[in-house]
Chain A
C-alpha cells in the first residue's frame, strides 16, 4: 500500500472516454508505489501551471556512458525541498527491443516484474526511436534494475551524442513487400557499432533505420541519418489469379481510377489483349478475358502504389536489394531535411553483401565523427560541405539518381571537367 493520493482533478478528466487512459494506469501503480503517487502530484501541478518540472543530470550504469535519461524534479518549496519527494528522481532506462518489436509473454512479464521491484511500474512501449522506456527509477535503483534487465539478454539503448537505438519494420516476418532481411541488417550494423551507442563520443546523434520497401513504414527517410530501404531492379512480378480477383471485386472504374491513373510516372497502361505490347521490361497481367494491364518497368519508380492497391496481384521483382539515403533529420537547426540517395541500388543477400553494408555504415559514422561540427547532424554536415565532398570522402561514385535535376546555376569552378568526363566514361565502360 502506498501513501495517500494527491487530488488530481485535471488528470481525472483524462480517465473518461473510449481510448485507454494512461492516467488510470498511473493511478493503478500509485495504489502500490509512493513514487507514482508523487509523480501524479507533479504531473497534476504541470497541468495546472502549464509548466514542466524536470531537469537532466548525470546518472548512468557501470561501464556505459549513456542510455539512462536522468530526471530530477525542479518543483521545490521555499526551503529548496522537493514538493513531491518520492518522485524527486524519476529516471528512464532506454532498452533496445528485439528487431521488429516482437515479444513473447514471458519476456514482457519479466520486464513488468523487474519494474515493479525497482521502478515505478510504468513502461513506455515504445519511444520515438524505438526504445523500451523503463520509466521512473531512483538513482540508487538504476544499477540493480539494469543488471537484471541485462541478464535477460537485453542491452541499453542510445542517448546523447551517440549511435541511437534503431528500428526496422515488420518486414520479412509478415509482409510480402519485404525486399531484404531487415532484422539481420539492423542487427549487423547496430551490433557492430555498439561501442558508439554505449560510449557517446560522436558530434551528435546518429540514427539508422531499416524499411523493407519504399512504403517506409519506419519513416527512415525523414527520421534517420542513414536509411536502408528495400527495392528491386527487375520487373514487377504478377499473379494473374489475384489480378482477376481484384477486377472481379472492384471493377474497371476502380482499376482505372485507383491504380492506373494514380501511377506517378504513367508507367501503367490498360490494353485490349490483342493490342498488348511485348518487351523485356514489360510486366503484363490479364485482369479479365479481354484486358491486360501492362507496366513499363523502366518508367516505374518503385513507389509501391499499385502493389499496395492490388496486393498479391503485383509483387516486387526477384532481383531485390536496397537503396541507401543519408541525412534525414528533424528541425534543429537548419530546418528538417530528408535523407538523399547515395546508393541507388545494392544487393543485400549474401554475407558479403551484409559485410559491405556494414563497412559503408562504419565509414559514414567515421566521416561524420571526423567532419561534423559539434551538435551537427549528418544532413546539416552534407548541406554545409556539399554532397560531392561527402561522396568523395567515402569513395562513392556520383550517379544521376542522386539528384532531382542537374545544377541549375553556373556558379561553380569546373577545372577538372575533362578528367571527370573521363571518369564518367570509365564508369560507363565498366558497367
Chain B
C-alpha cells in the first residue's frame, strides 16, 4: 500500500479568492438593492458600483456535464464566478445591465429556470432520500423534481404575497427543515422488528434511550436478546431506526406523507415560527406524487388569492385564524391536529378570541 498522506487540516477556505471581483471590492459597502424583474437582483454600493445578479434553479444533484456547463456559462457571461444559495439556486453576477438578458436567454435555452427571487416560490430544500440516505421513507430529489415541475410558473414569476419557502423530508427527523410548506414522510405504524438481527446489529441500551416515549424495552425473543415495543405507547417517530435498522419503521404501504405550513426562520414582522400540521395520510405515490402536489398547489392558490402583500404563509394564517385556513383550503380538521406532546397546552386557545 502506498504511503498515506496526512491531511492538511486547512479548514474553511477563505471566500475572497473565489468571490466575483466586484463583490470582493465592495465587501461590506452595499447600500441599496431592488428587484428589477423575476430572477434578477440589482445591488448598488456606496461608491456607485452596480451589480446585477441572475438567479436560477438547478436539480441540486449535479452531474459532471452540468457542473461544466455552469462553468462555461459563467466564463462566457459572468467573469468566471458564481455562488450557490442555501436552497441550491445558482447566482451569476454581472456588472452591466446589458448583460442580463443575453444571460437569461442562454440559461433558459439550457433548461435552467430563472427566478426564485423575492415573492416567488423558491427551490425546495431537501434531503437525500433513496439516493443516499440510510433511513428514507421516500425519495427526496424525485419529490422535488415532481413538485417544482408543478410550481415552475411560481418560481419564474414572483407573484406570491411574499416569499414562499418549501422543504421536503423523507422521514420525521425533518432534515429538510422548517418551511412555509413542508412535505414530510409520516410513519403510521410501529416498527416491525427483525428479531434475528437485533443482537448482532444494535446496542440495545442506546436504542432504549432513543425512544422519546419510553416504549422500547429489552426482551428475549426466541431465546435471543432482542427488543420489544409497547405498540400502544409508540408514536411511530422512527427514532429507534437509525441506531437499530432491524427496527423497520419504513412501511411501503402505511408510511404516508404529511403537509405542514406556516414555518419561517426570518424575524421579519413576527418572531420565527415552526410549521404546523395541516394534512396527512397522503400516499407515497412515486414517481410523481400527484396527491401531494394537489394539496400543496391548493394551499398556495388560496394563500396567493387571500394574503396581503408581505404576509408570509404564517402571517396570513395569524390574521385569518386557523378555522378560516381549514375552511378556505377545504382541508379537514381532525383530532390529530390538536397537539398532545409536551408543552402542548400553550398551543390551545386560552381566550375567547374566536372569529365568526
A residues with a Cβ closer than 8 A to B are 10-11, 13-14, 16-23, 25-26, 28-29, 39, 43, 46-47, 49-56, 61-64, 69, 71, 90, 92, 96-109, 111-112, 115-116, 121-128, 130, 133, 135, 143, 146-147, 150-151, 153-156, 166-167, 169-170, 172-176, 178, 181, 183, 186-187, 190-191, 194-195, 198, 214-223, 239, 242, 254, 257-258, 262, 264, 301-305, 308-309, 311-312, 315, 330-336, 338, 374-375
Q: What number of residue pairs across chains A and B have CB atoms under 8 A from each other? A: 363
Which residues of the partner chain B approach A198 to less than 8 Å between Cβ atoms? 7, 9
Is B314 interfacial (CB-CB < 8 Å)? no
Question: Closest chain B residue to A46 by CB distance?
Answer: B130
B residues with a Cβ closer than 8 A to A are 4-15, 17-20, 23-24, 27-28, 30-34, 43-44, 51, 53, 57-68, 70-72, 74-75, 80-86, 88, 93, 111-113, 125-139, 141-142, 145-146, 148-149, 152, 172-178, 206, 209-210, 212, 237, 239, 245, 250, 252, 255, 263, 265-270, 272, 274, 284, 286-288, 308-310, 341-343
Which residues of the partner chain B approach A61 to less than 8 Å between Cβ atoms? 7
Which residues of the partner chain A approach B177 to less than 8 Å between Cβ atoms? 128, 219, 222-223, 330
Q: State the CA gap A22–B85 with chains docked (Å).
A: 18
Q: State the CA gap A59–B141 with chains docked (Å).
A: 25
Q: Contacts A19-B149, A25-B66 given: A304-B60 contact, CB under 8 Å? A: no
Contact A104 B18 (CB under 8 A): yes
Which residues of the partner chain A approach B265 to less than 8 Å between Cβ atoms? 216, 219-223
7 intermolecular pairs with C-beta atoms under 8 Å apart: A19-B152, A25-B62, A28-B65, A155-B10, A187-B11, A216-B265, A257-B309
CB distance from B84 to the nearest CB of A (A): 4
Q: Contacts A17-B149, A181-B28 given: A155-B9 contact, CB under 8 Å? A: yes
Q: State the CA gap A400–B115 with chains docked (Å).
A: 42
Contact A375 B71 (CB under 8 A): no
Contact B59 A20 (CB under 8 A): yes
Among candidates A21, A71, A133, residue contacting B134 with C-beta atoms closer than 8 Å: A71
Question: Closest chain B residue to A197 by CB distance?
Answer: B11
Among candidates A126, A190, A262, residue contacting B88 with C-beta atoms closer than 8 Å: A126
CB distance from A299 to the nearest CB of B (A): 15
Q: Contacts A18-B149, A150-B7, A222-B265 given: A49-B252 contact, CB under 8 Å? A: yes
Which residues of the partner chain A approach B11 to less than 8 Å between Cβ atoms? 96, 155, 187, 190-191, 194
Which residues of the partner chain B approach A10 to less than 8 Å between Cβ atoms? 286-287
Contact B132 A69 (CB under 8 A): yes
Q: State the CA gap A255–B45 with chains docked (Å).
A: 25
Contact A303 B28 (CB under 8 A): no
Among candidates B80, B85, B132, B245, residue contacting A92 with C-beta atoms closer than 8 Å: B132
Contact B32 A312 (CB under 8 A): yes
Given contacts A20-B58, A26-B61, A335-B342, 12 further A-B contacts (CB under 8 A): A20-B66, A23-B145, A51-B250, A52-B136, A71-B134, A99-B14, A103-B82, A109-B71, A150-B10, A173-B23, A173-B83, A187-B11
Among candidates A109, A128, A169, residue contacting B127 with C-beta atoms closer than 8 Å: A128
Among candidates A105, A174, A219, residue contacting B71 with C-beta atoms closer than 8 Å: A105
Question: Closest chain A residue to B63 by CB distance?
Answer: A25
Which residues of the partner chain A approach B146 to less than 8 Å between Cβ atoms? 14, 17
Q: State the CA gap A50–B123 with chains docked (Å).
A: 24
Contact B310 A174 (CB under 8 A): no
Q: State the CA gap A125–B65 with chains docked (Å).
A: 14
Q: Contacts A52-B130, A96-B12 given: A176-B43 contact, CB under 8 Å? A: yes
Q: State the CA gap A50–B286 with chains docked (Å).
A: 8
Which residues of the partner chain B approach A309 to less than 8 Å between Cβ atoms? 310
Q: State the CA gap A186–B282 with chains docked (Å).
A: 40
Contact B30 A54 (CB under 8 A): no
Among candidates A21, A167, A332, A374, residue contacting B145 with C-beta atoms closer than 8 Å: A21
Q: State the CA gap A147–B141 with chains docked (Å).
A: 29
Q: State the CA gap A173–B49 with chains docked (Å).
A: 13
Contact B10 A153 (CB under 8 A): yes
Which residues of the partner chain B approach A150 to less than 8 Å between Cβ atoms? 5, 7-8, 10
CB distance from B158 to the nearest CB of A (A): 15
CB distance from B346 to the nearest CB of A (A): 11
Among candidates A50, A191, A308, residue contacting B284 with C-beta atoms closer than 8 Å: A50
Contact A98 B175 (CB under 8 A): no
Among candidates B112, B176, B287, residue contacting A14 with C-beta atoms closer than 8 Å: B287
